[in-house]
Structure 1
Amino acid sequence: MNGHERQRYALVGTGNRGTTMWGRDLLAGWRQEVDLVAICDTNPLRAERARAMIKSNAPIYTSIEETLAAARPELVIVCTRDSNHDDVIVAALEAGADVITEKPMTTSMDKIRRIRDAERRTGRRIDVSFNYRYAPTAAKLKSLLMAGEIGTLTSVDFHWYLNNQHGADYFRRWHAYVKNSGSLFVHKATHHFDLLNWYIGADPVDVAAFGELRQYGRNGPFRGPRCRDCSHAEECDYFFDMSADEFLDQLYEDPSEIDGYVRDGCVYREDIDIFDTMSATIRYQNAVTASYSLNAFMPIEGHAIAFNGTRGRIELRQFEKQPWPTPDHDEILLVRSFDGGVERIKVPHAGGGHFGGDDLMRSMIFRDGADPLGQRADSRAGAMSVMTGLAALQSATTGRMVKLSELGEIDHP
């Protein structure tokens, strides 16, 4: 944006993320840069509730086609279910709008190619909302790697922990089915695979992965259709009283009478088909290897990452939620080989979600911030992270290593 004219945008999808990150919060901090001209959701009551929370008077539409024809936005922000991102993205591009899409960009190779072909054909731009790249600590890690502080990077250890609240949420909602989310290898790990791809600065080549459903789904001792009015509420570790959260209750409970979608589905539903315990080994074009894991029912939330190089090692343990106090900063350990000692680099915590990445990403996109670290993610970055997740899912389900080249080509000649 040039700072003189506000960009007209349509918000498509009014769940939690759309209503807050790209609705209420975007207008609160970037109102001089953007103008919300349309809200679109297939559930009109949810859209009305979201509009009130956003404090907007934008008109409501129930289809992307109607939205584009009536509002003629310059930008469309996509916050719908993962499996239909492609329909919204392609329609927006073909109507002449740029797109910001929530991660993952999509859920299959056919949909990746459809999106990339539409972007090339229309000449419009897609940004993928990889907000973790923008967090100050992530930016510092990237700058250390780019500066060669540990010599040539050889391998990465990366382990992510979702706690029993956040992790369980994926099993309550539509994400619990591969057809909707592509599995957590795609929906959640797309964040993490993108970080690896960005840190390493190369494309992944091979993936060998394992996945199991160990806690949720059929593993439960009992089950019901949803938490509300469940007879097991007193004994269930995962009971979720949505009525105690006014925001979620307003956004989802009454609207569920229109489309049948409930926000507090039972985490023990027997038809859940995504993994909750995952690991993968990834080999890159530049011979770097990465060891990755994701666990979705931990007593803690956060991640641990380490970069190993020919002349040293970088370590980070980033805390998010845990039953003990933590400082108001992250500490990166830069350990140099050959008696080079250790340097402790403190990075203050930034405000806003995703370790400060949400606000910094919105500022770069809407205020034309400089991008020396290559943080702004395009459709190719979105495609590569999804492909890594698809390869991991295929490997975990077939028991063999999968080459990304087996999945098909995404780059145009």
Structure 2
Amino acid sequence: MNTSLSRKEFLTALAALAAGAAAQVPLNTFGMQRKLRVVLVGTGVRGISFWGRRLVEQYPDLLEFVGLSDINPGRLAYAKRYMGVNCPTFVDFDELLRKVKPDLVIVCTKDSTHHEFIIKGLAAGCDVLTEKPLTTDEAKAQAILDAERKYDKNLIVGFNYRWSPYMTKIKELLQNGEIGDVTSVDFNWYLNVHHGASYFRRWHGLMDSGGSLWVHKATHHFDLLNWWLDSEPEEVFAYGALEHYGSNGPFRGKSCRSCPHKQECAYYWDITKDRHSMNLYVENEAHDGYVRDGCVYRHEIDIYDKMSAQIKYANNVVANYSLTTYSPFEGWRIAFNGHKGRIEAWLDIPWMKNGELDQESLHAAEMDQTRDDVIHEPLVLYKNWTDYKIIQVASERGGHGGGDRRLHDKLFRDKDAPDPYGHTAGVRDGAMSILVGVAARRSIEQGAPVKIASLTDLKPMPKRMA
């Protein structure tokens, strides 16, 4: 790598990443006249699609995959075919680093192991991009922060939700002072019985693997709050419980395929109808024992399925947040209260719009990178003492509301484009988003508020650091 590039210059360019995930960097950002040498560790569905196949297809002139790594050799073989690459594969990540010597490591492993591969990549002299969340607890977060400082390499967590036109419009209104200084926020996120249940079928249902949905899922939401409010969280008080999934179920089995209760279980999911999941997961179970269609009523499930938190920001804004995992519908609502007015925004609330998609198809459409159909979504701007205004925002259904495409294009095709709303996100943003979830877990355990500053050496700032 060109070591003459300053850390500040690198971070400025690389921080253009913005959920779900990590991304790639234009060649001249690194001072190179060759393709960037990229490796992917963790060949699950997110890794081989958004951070695999899509990069291969969209940016072949800018990067090349020079290695893939996973503990499961069967998934590795399928990933290589699915991504359409001709690079070596490694079960041993250390061997990959020794033999391939990449410029960039993309980490898409199980959340609880992110820190291992991030730190190894930094220590090997690589820059690292990691799928969200950054990690799952405060000790691992501190270890990552220490490693980034020690090795003077660069780490980024991308937040693709920031880049969608709808989310950006909210940021624009707040940044322009349309409702004055914000004083409070109400934010409610609803996962439906299709998408919400999927987390409890997978390793995400185990606290030790995913850190709970406070971290794995809500990292998106907390980052949006931090970005919209342009401040950092200071204190969290939370409630949570497991009352629907896990041991609360009337019956259970090992997997949906082998379950004797298929006819009576509303959560039965036939994975055999999903050829991609069969090829990637089911056909490779023998290698590591991972069951993709696990029972949502397994006794081992120990994460929360209802969650509510109050978050106090360093700029004195108070946010009330809730996450429901078994809603009849999928969507979210938010309201910002300010001294001069109020903003109300929402997506996919069925009674507010005649949606074209059924609830089972909604999440699949959002994740679909090929959909580019334009939709118009409203939000409402209220001004004190005057009438309200409905603003129609042009957006897309697929790729997280168009955020995925805009994230990649900013990085590869239009890196010098102005970014007036600060979509760029650094490792501090990644840490601050997961620390809200970690603090919420600790608050539930302790029955008391938790200070963000008590978790790592990061001290919350009234104005979010660039």
**TM-score with structure 2 length normalisation?**
0.85
- Residue 190 of structure 1 and its aligned partner are, at CA, apart by 0.8
2:144 to 112, 115, 118: 115
**1:310-334 Cα deviation digits (max 9, x unpaired):** 0011111111889942692111211
Counterpart secondary structure, 1:193: helix
- Residue 90 of structure 1 and its aligned partner are, at CA, apart by 0.8
1:102 to 119, 126, 131: 131
Amino acid at match of 2:421: L
Does the aligned pair in 2 maintain the 1:151–1:311 contact within 8 Å?
Answer: yes
Amino acid at match of 1:325: G
1:404 aligns with 2:452: yes
1:360 to 392, 403, 406: 406
Aligned residue for 2:21? none
1:144 aligns with 2:190: no
Counterpart secondary structure, 2:109: coil
- Residue 5 of structure 1 and its aligned partner are, at CA, apart by 3.3
Runs of 4+ in 1 over 4 A off after TM superposition: 320-324
Does the aligned pair in 2 maintain the 1:116–1:410 contact within 8 Å?
Answer: no
1:293 aligns with 2:322: yes
- Residue 411 of structure 1 and its aligned partner are, at CA, apart by 6.2
Does the aligned pair in 1 maintain the 2:307–2:324 contact within 8 Å?
Answer: yes
Counterpart secondary structure, 1:31: coil
Aligned residue for 2:355? 325
- Paired residues for 1:6-17 under 5 Å: 6-17=35-46
Percentage identity across paired residues of the two chains: 46
Does the aligned pair in 1 maintain the 2:452–2:459 contact within 8 Å?
Answer: no
Aligned residue for 1:257? 286
Greater shift in the superposed pair: 258-267 or 63-72: 63-72
Cα distance between partner residues in 2 of 1:321 and 1:8: 45
- Residue 2 of structure 1 and its aligned partner are, at CA, apart by 4.1
Counterpart secondary structure, 1:184: coil
Cα distance between partner residues in 2 of 1:33 and 1:374: 25
Amino acid at match of 1:6: K
Amino acid at match of 2:209: N
**1:33-92 Cα deviation digits (max 9, x unpaired):** 221111111101101111111111121111221111111111111100001100100111
- Residue 129 of structure 1 and its aligned partner are, at CA, apart by 2.1
1:26 to 1:308, Cα distance in 2 relative to 1, 3 A: same
1:321 to 1:63, Cα distance in 2 relative to 1, 3 A: farther
- Residue 218 of structure 1 and its aligned partner are, at CA, apart by 0.9
1:57 to 58, 61, 86: 86
1:270 aligns with 2:299: yes
1:31 to 50, 55, 60: 60
Aligned residue for 1:375? 423
Amino acid at match of 1:266: C
- Give 5+ residue unaligned stretches, structure 1: none
Aligned residue for 2:185? 156
Counterpart secondary structure, 2:388: strand
Counterpart secondary structure, 1:161: strand
Aligned residues: 411
- Residue 351 of structure 1 and its aligned partner are, at CA, apart by 5.7
- Residue 122 of structure 1 and its aligned partner are, at CA, apart by 2.1
Does the aligned pair in 2 maintain the 1:173–1:265 contact within 8 Å?
Answer: yes
- Residue 109 of structure 1 and its aligned partner are, at CA, apart by 1.4
Amino acid at match of 1:378: G
Cα distance between partner residues in 2 of 1:46 and 1:260: 12
- Give 5+ residue unaligned stretches, structure 2: 1-25, 357-373, 461-466
Cα distance between partner residues in 1 of 2:144 and 2:459: 12
- Residue 236 of structure 1 and its aligned partner are, at CA, apart by 0.6
Does the aligned pair in 1 maintain the 2:378–2:391 contact within 8 Å?
Answer: yes
Aligned residue for 1:384? 432
Cα distance between partner residues in 1 of 2:111 and 2:295: 21
Aligned residue for 1:241? 270
Cα distance between partner residues in 1 of 2:397 and 2:258: 37
1:338 aligns with 2:385: yes
2:207 to 168, 171, 178: 178
Does the aligned pair in 2 maintain the 1:159–1:294 contact within 8 Å?
Answer: yes
Does the aligned pair in 2 maintain the 1:352–1:359 contact within 8 Å?
Answer: no
Amino acid at match of 2:410: M
1:365 to 1:125, Cα distance in 2 relative to 1, 3 A: farther
Greater shift in the superposed pair: 129-138 or 28-37: 28-37
Cα distance between partner residues in 1 of 2:258 and 2:348: 35
Tell me how large the CA RMSD over aligned residues is: 1.8
Amino acid at match of 2:242: L
Aligned residue for 1:349? 395
